Amino acid sequence: MAAIMFSACSSGGKKSTTSENPFYTEYDTPFGVPPFNLITNDHFIPAVEKGIKEQTAEIEAIISSEAAPDFENTIAALDYSGELIRKVTGVFNNYNSSNISSEIQTIAKEIAPKLSAHSDNINLNPNLFERVKTVYNSRASMNLNGEQMKLLEDTYRDFVRGGADLDSASQVRFREINQELSLLTLKFGENVLAENNAFKLVIDNEADLEGLTQGLIDQGAETAKAAGMEGKWVYTLHNPSIMPFLQYSAKRELREKIYNAYINRGNNNDEFDNKDNILKITALRLERANLLGYDTHAAFILDKNMAKNTANVNDLLQQLWTPALKRANTEVKELQAIINNEGGNFKLQPWDWSYYAEKLRKEMYNLDDEQLKPYFSLENVKQGVFTVCNNLYGLTFTERKDIPVYHPEATAYEVKEANGDHVGVLFMDFHPRESKRGGAWMNSYRKQYVNKDGENIRPVITTVCNFSKPTANQPSLLTFDETSTFFHEFGHALHGLLSNSTYYSLSGTSVSRDFVELPSQIMENWAAEPEVLKLYAKHYETGEVIPQELIDKLQKSAYFNQGFATVEYLAASFLDMGYHNLSNFNIDNVSSFEDQTLKAAGLIPEITSRYRSTYFNHIFSGGYSSGYYSYIWAAILDADAFEAFKENGLFDPETATAFRKNILERGGTEDPMVLYRKFRGADPDIKPLLKRRGLLEG
C-alpha cells in the first residue's frame, strides 16, 4: 500500500515459530521498547490468542481463590492481568494508524472481534463480577487510599457499563453489538484512509500554478515525481497539501475541485462509501445504550465525563455559538467585499474562504504564512518544545540511535529528569505517507504503572503528525497552526511521560475524554508567547531570531478568522451530538440528517462543518463519540489554567510544579474537577476562553 514500509511490517515469507515470537519474552532492547526489527505480521494473531488464554487463566485464578474477595486479590489482581495482550496491542494498534498495510488491515479484522469477545467474557463473567461487587459494597470499611478507591469505583462502574447487570438474553445481544461495532468502526477508518490516498489533483499546465508559493510548487512537483508523473504537479487530500493549496491557489475552479473531493470523502457511493456504516454504527450504539438503561448513546458516554449530561454540553456549545456565528457573519461580509472589489461576479463559497481570508489577513496585518514559515522550521520548533519542557519541568530529550524504531521516518528520544533519572522513551513521526492516517495524535506503546513486584514501569510514548516534508530546496517549514499542533501533541506526550500512578488503568491519559485535552491544549499557549518565540523561532537559513515586528503582527492577528474557526468546530460538535443524542433511531439518509442538523443549528452556507459525517473519524472510528465537544470544554480549562502562568510567570517553578503534580502526574486517580481545583484553587472560568477568541462582548 505504501511506497515505503519498514521491514517490521513484513513477514518476508518466513513463518515464525512460537519460540521466535518476540512478544513472548522480555524485550532485549534499550528500556524494553518493542523490538520492531524482529516483529513481523505473523506474530500478531498468535500473540493475541496466547494473551487471551493467559488473561483468561489469570481471571480464573481470581475467581477460584478461596480467600474472601478484597482489593488486592480481586481489584488489583484484575488490573495486573493481561500483560501480554497489552504488549501486543500496544504495537499493533499503533501500526494500524501509522504503519498501515493491507496485511495489517486484514489482521485487524481478525483481531478486533477476538478482543471484543474477550473483553465481554471478562465483563460478563458473573463469578468475577460477584467478587468485584462484594469488594465494592464493602469499600467504606476497607481503609483504601484515594487511588485504590478510584480504581475500585471505576472497576465496578466499568463492569456495570460492560453489561454485567444485564439478563442472559440481553447479554447475548450485547456481545453481538460489540462484535459488529468492532468491525464497523475499523471499516469506517479504512474507507477514509483509502479516500485520502485515492484522490490526486494533477496539474500539467504551469499557468494553473498561479498564486501558489514556490515551496508549494516544489512540493507538488516532488509528489508528482514520486507518483511517476515527473514534469507535472500533484496535490492530494493530505492536510499539508490541500490546506495551503486552498489558501494560495488563484484558480477558483481548481480550489473547488480539490475542496469538493475533500468534503465528499466516504460519500461517493463506491466501495469506500461510509453512509451505510454510519447508519449501522449509530443504530447499534443506541441499542446498546438502551440495553444498559440509558435513553441515548450520548447519555451513556457523558455519564462518566466531566460534562455529565447533554444539557451541560449543549449549554456550553450555545454559549459559544451565538458570539462565534455573529463574528463569522462579519467575516463573510469582509471576504465578500474583497471579491466584489476585485470584480469577482460570484458569492463567497466554502472553497473560497481560505484564499480570501489570507488576502484579508495580509491587507489588515501585512502578514501571511510565507513570512512566518522560514522561522518555524520543524527542527527549530522541535527544539523550542524541548526548551519549554526543560524550563517548566527540567526535562531533557536525547536522540538515541540504538533504540529500534517502527518506521525509518520515526526518531527515538530518551527523556530524563533534571537529575538524570530516566523518565521514558518518546518516538516522533512527522510526515504524511500512504501508510499513515491523517491528522496528529499521541499514543503509547507502553503506559506507566507500578507492577506487582513494585517496579515503576516507565512509559514508551509516540507522537505522530502529518507536516509538510522537506523538499530539495528547503527543510520542512511549518505554518503557525502546525507549530501549535506540535506543541499540542507534545502536551499529550507529557501527560503520558510524566504519569506517576500505581495502577495501569488509571495512568497517563486514562482520564475522561473532556479532561484529556487540557494537558495538550495548555501547551499551545507557550508556542505563541513573545518570550518563547524568541527562544525558538529562528530563520532556517540565517539563524536570525524572529523580528519583533512579526511577533507584533502575530499578536495583533490573534483574533483573526476566529469566527470561522469556532463555527466550523462547533458545527462538528453539533453533528456529533445530533447522531448520538437520538432516543429513537430514525435516520434513513445520512446526507439529509446532516443537512437538517446543521441547518437547525444555524450553520451559514459559506462554512462547512470541520468534519462531515462520512469522514468524521473522531466519532465513528476513534474514541470521541458524544465527545467532540471535549476540545472546547478543555479549552475553557486550558485558557483559565494558563492565566496562572500569565499571573506568576511563564516558567514559574511553583506553578509548573503544581500543574505537574496535580494534572500531569495524576492520570485518572481522582475526579478531574477535584484535580483542577487543586491546581487552580477554584473552578474554571469561561471568560479567558471568550477573550482569547475575541468573542467577549463589552
Q: Cell triple for residue 262?
A: 475533500
What's the CA gap between 334 and 657, in Å, rounded? 45
H/E element holding 259? helix 252-263
What's the CA gap between 417 and 396, in Å, rounded? 7
Give the list of residues 6+ apart from residue 386 with CB closer than 8 angstroms, or none: 395, 396, 397
The gap from C-alpha 406 to its chain's centroid, in whole angstroms, comes to: 19
3-state secondary structure (DSSP) of residue 445: strand
Neighbouring C-beta atoms of residue 127, cutoff 10 Å: 12
What's the CA gap between 293 and 305, in Å, rounded? 17
Cβ atoms of residues 506 and 152 within 8 Å: no
The residue behind cell 494508524 is 97
List of long-range contacts for 546-551, beta carbons under 8 Å, 24+ apart: 546/375, 550/367, 550/371, 550/372, 550/375
Q: Cell triple for residue 352?
A: 473560497
* DSSP bridge partners of 449: 457
Q: Which of 261, 265, 235 is nearest to 249 (CA)?
A: 235
What's the CA gap between 509 and 528, in Å, rounded? 25
User: What would the DSSP string read from start to end of 493-544?
Assistant: HHHHHT---SSGGGSTT-S-TTTTHHHHHHHHHHHH-HHHHHHH-B-TTT-P
What's the CA gap between 680 and 635, in Å, rounded? 15
What's the CA gap between 410 and 435, in Å, rounded? 13
Q: Which of 676, 659, 675 is nearest to 393 (CA)?
A: 659
How far, CA to CA in Å, does 525 sit from each of 224, 483, 631, 635? Answer: 37, 11, 15, 11
Specify the DSSP class assigned to residue 31: G
What's the CA gap between 623 and 441, in Å, rounded? 12
Q: Which of 378, 331, 383 is nearest to 358 (CA)?
A: 331
* DSSP bridge partners of 456: 450
Q: Cell triple for residue 354?
A: 481560505
Active site residues: 489
H/E element holding 578? helix 562-580
User: Which of left, alpha, beta for 694 (phi over 0: left; psi -120 to 50: alpha)?
Assistant: left
Burial class (CB in 10 A: 0-12, 13-18, 19+), 287: middle
What's the CA gap between 679 and 227, in Å, rounded? 52
What's the CA gap between 690 and 685, in Å, rounded? 10
